[in-house]
Amino acid sequence: MRRPAKMVKQLLRTAMQKPVTRNYPAHKEAPALSLRGKIKFDLKLCVGCKLCMRDCPSQALVIKKEEAGVIIELDLGRCIYCGQCVDSCLRKAISLTTDFELAQLTAEALKLTFHAKP
């Protein structure tokens, strides 16, 4: 310790201040509107062009075309929430929500499947 007086001065100055942290689970605040959270699909607009799948840097999206329609598989465990899929979608079928509390107990619970009909 080179300057213990400086440390004591800082300690005395901050000892009487209110805490800066928030009691998060008990008092939730509204997230910022620019927050990139969970991906949301508008299945009525999706045509299965696979542009979002091609441009996804983490390869979290898999799109399969079948006779019954389009199957979209999203792995939230791989997704880095960059928003590239939203920018790539020409039909605006993908959007980002502000939902960020996505913790699950198993990796399988993070895999979502959507069925879009033609």
CB contact at 8 A, 104 and 110: yes
Q: State yes or no: pLDDT of 69 exceeds 90.
A: no
Instruction: Please tell me the predicted confidence (pLDDT) of residue 27.
Output: 87
Mean pLDDT, residues 35-54 taken together: 92
Q: Where are any strands of DSSP class E within 52-101?
A: 61-66, 69-75, 94-96
pTM, two decimals, is 0.75
CB count in 10 Å sphere of residue 102: 13
* Greater pLDDT, 54 or 69: 54
Q: From 3.30.70.3270, 3.30.590.10, 3.40.50.2300, 3.40.50.150, which CATH number describes the 31-116 domain?
A: 3.30.70.3270
Q: How far apart are CA 117 and CA 105, in angstroms?
A: 31
Query: With bands split at pLDDT 50, 70 and 90, how would you rate the model's confidence at 1?
Result: low
Going from N- to C-terminal start, the domains of the chain cover: 31-116
